[in-house]
Amino acid sequence: APVTDPVTPTALRTRLAAALSRLYGTEVPAYTTLVRTCEEINAEVLERSGEQAERLGSIERVTAERHGAVRVGTPAEMGQVARVFGACGMHPVGFYDLREATPAIPVVSTAFRPIDAAELAANPFRVFTSVLVVDDRRFFDERTQARLREFLDGRSLFPAELLDLADRMETRGSLPAAEADRFLELATASLALSDEPVDRQWYEHLESISSVAADIGGVGSTHINHLTPRVLDIDELYRRMQDQGITMIDRIQGPPPAPVDVLLRQTSFRALDEPRRFAEPDGSVTTGHLRVRFGEVEARGVALTPRGRALYDERGVAALPTTEAELDAQDLAYYSRDDDGALRPIVYEDFLPKSAAGIFASNLTSDGATDSSARASVRDAHWLQDALERPLHDPYALYDVQRSAGTQDARP
Ligand code: OOG
Ligand code: NI
């Protein structure tokens, strides 16, 4: 047998991000235009600003950088996702309750991502992952809950072979090349859009409550809902996509342009009609369309401390000081210090609940119907950690570690 090096979680993550990017390009053609336009703009910014352009990550990191979104139905499915991403060195970070958004979305979420500086620099691939809150009476009546439970318990999103390979990677720290290839093949296939017919009546029933619920509980598999590249000038990107005839949502979400880029700015183009097969009540199979996926792009800035974030949430980006030195001096943003005393920004690696809600909403075919008199079911970080069967990391604790570790490993 040929001698090949064992594959590390870092390499597996890099390859998974690349494989999903190829897949998404075949599934959503405008994504290819988006990625090409990002690369063009990033090259221009690098040319124009030199070293300054790489202060928030090397051009290699930024070029390969993607985030994805995945939605699942049960805590058991969430636990399985955690194993698959765990094999790729991606750990759950943060707790987001999208039921608190307007319009309310019946999910709670976390993001799987690398957590230390060297891993982030090598490839920061992250996946925003949401789980349906089936027992929330504000959304689902008892009969719908029972049907949802039966449907979700009866499906399997990931083959046992994939989960075995994932566990092997997590216990051993590497996989033989052939097993890594197999892992990637199975993982990518599990996240591709399935062509299994969708039960029309069931899907439409869920859609009348929440399109996100239909996307999760109305089909027998999950899929990458979007895959987002990173761009260094998102205002320019927005203009250039429209110039190419692609209709963007009406704004860029997150902080408006500011003297210092903070947190995360995102925008997207509308969900596209995708051909899907439907199983009709009379037993026939027809062809129709569903709009479940879209294109999103993002620009990242420096991470804010809890103080900085509170100020931003209360009073907006204009309330923040306009220089990095002041942001650092007032402990409002995370910087590490070089040997020669220069400040280096620590990139914001997470998501913003308000923007996430906007992203979900831009994708909705209806606002759905909720019963606001019913009691919410309790979902919190502890609940999520139990489902994940592994530690759920606090983003601020991770930024603190990066800040005190200094800059020695901040670049590849
Ligand atoms: C996730 C939406 C959140 C973002 O970039 O804020 C997200 C979803 O649509 O499943 O991806
Ligand atoms: Ni996104």
Q: Model confidence over 161-198: pLDDT tens digits?
A: 999 999 999 999 999 999 999 999 999 999 999 989 99
ipTM confidence: 0.99
CA of 330 to the centre of ligand 2 (A): 31
What pLDDT was estimated at residue 361?
77
CA of 67 to the centre of ligand 1 (A): 9
- The number of the ligand 1 atom at minimal distance from the alpha carbon of 363 is 9
Contact call for residues 16 and 190 (beta carbons, < 8 A): no
For residue 254, give the ligand nearest its CA: 1
Average of per-residue pLDDT across 116-136: 96
What pLDDT was estimated at residue 412?
44
User: Residue 399 domain-assigned?
Assistant: no
The domain spanning residue 81 has which CATH number? 3.10.180.80
Contact call for residues 152 and 217 (beta carbons, < 8 A): yes
Closest CA to 90 of 182, 20, 193, 178: 20
Q: Are residues 202 and 146 in the same domain?
A: yes
What pLDDT was estimated at residue 3?
60
User: Residue 1 domain-assigned?
Assistant: no
User: Residue 398 domain-assigned?
Assistant: no
CA of 345 to the centre of ligand 2 (A): 23
Q: Look at residue 410 and tell me whether its pLDDT is greater than 50.
A: no
In the chain, the number of structural domains is 2
Q: Look at residue 405 and tell me whether its pLDDT is greater than 70.
A: yes
Q: Are residues 251 and 308 in the same domain?
A: no
Contact call for residues 209 and 52 (beta carbons, < 8 A): no
CA of 103 to the centre of ligand 2 (A): 17
For residue 295, give the ligand nearest its CA: 2
Q: Are residues 82 and 148 in the same domain?
A: yes
CA of 263 to the centre of ligand 1 (A): 15
How is residue 348 annotated by DSSP?
Answer: P
Segment among 127-131, 280-284, 363-367, 379-383 with least mean pLDDT: 363-367
Could you tell me the two tokens for 12? 């597996």
Q: Between residues 292 and 240, which one has the greater pLDDT?
A: 240
Residue nearest to atom 8 of ligand 1 (CA): 69
Q: pLDDT tens digit string along 190-231?
A: 999 998 999 999 999 999 999 999 999 999 999 999 999 999
Q: Between residues 308 and 275, which one has the greater pLDDT?
A: 308
Find the residues whose C-beta lies inside 6 A of ligand 1: 69, 71, 128, 130, 225, 266, 296, 351, 355-356, 359-360
For residue 356, give the ligand nearest its CA: 1
Average of per-residue pLDDT across 83-93: 98
Residue 275: band (very low, low, confident or very high) from pLDDT cuts 50, 70, 90: confident
Q: Are residues 334 and 217 in the same domain?
A: no
Segment among 26-30, 128-132, 234-238, 370-374 with least mean pLDDT: 370-374
- The number of the ligand 1 atom at minimal distance from the alpha carbon of 70 is 10
Q: Are residues 334 and 354 in the same domain?
A: no
- The number of the ligand 1 atom at minimal distance from the alpha carbon of 359 is 2
Q: Are residues 314 and 230 in the same domain?
A: no
Query: Residue 66's domain spans which residues?
Result: 9-300+350-393
Q: Are residues 220 and 337 in the same domain?
A: no
Q: Are residues 218 and 123 in the same domain?
A: yes
Q: Are residues 95 and 65 in the same domain?
A: yes
Contact call for residues 9 and 85 (beta carbons, < 8 A): no
Residue nearest to atom 9 of ligand 1 (CA): 360
Q: Look at residue 269 and tell me whether its pLDDT is greater than 90.
A: no
CA of 288 to the centre of ligand 1 (A): 25
Residue nearest to atom 2 of ligand 1 (CA): 356
| Substitution candidate for ligand 1 out of 95, 230, 359, 365 with most atoms within 8 A of CB | 359
Q: Are residues 209 and 308 in the same domain?
A: no
Could you tell me the two tokens for 306? 């809890």
Residue 366: band (very low, low, confident or very high) from pLDDT cuts 50, 70, 90: low
- What residue has token string 């500086």? 117
Q: Are residues 271 and 324 in the same domain?
A: no
Residue 368: band (very low, low, confident or very high) from pLDDT cuts 50, 70, 90: low
CA of 358 to the centre of ligand 1 (A): 8
Segment among 6-10, 23-27, 92-96, 101-105 with least mean pLDDT: 101-105
Whole-angstrom Cα distance, residue 159 to residue 189?
10
- The number of the ligand 1 atom at minimal distance from the alpha carbon of 356 is 6
Average of per-residue pLDDT across 288-294: 85
- Label residue 383 exposed, middle or buried (CB < 10 Å: 0-12, 13-18, 19+): middle
- The number of the ligand 1 atom at minimal distance from the alpha carbon of 360 is 9
User: Residue 409 domain-assigned?
Assistant: no
Residue nearest to atom 3 of ligand 1 (CA): 356
For residue 264, give the ligand nearest its CA: 1
What pLDDT was estimated at residue 364?
63
Average of per-residue pLDDT across 349-356: 92
Q: Give the alpha-carbon dihedral of 372, 376, 381, 386, to 10 degrees.
A: -140
Q: Are residues 274 and 334 in the same domain?
A: no
Residue nearest to atom 6 of ligand 1 (CA): 356
For residue 355, give the ligand nearest its CA: 1
Spell out the residues 6+ positions from residue 186 whose beta carbon is closer than 8 angstroms to its own: 158, 159, 161, 162, 165
Whole-angstrom Cα distance, residue 218 to residue 211?
9
CA of 279 to the centre of ligand 2 (A): 30
Residues of 163-199 as b/e, b for ≥16 C-beta within 10 angstroms? bebbebbeeeebbebebbeebbebbbebbbbeeebbb
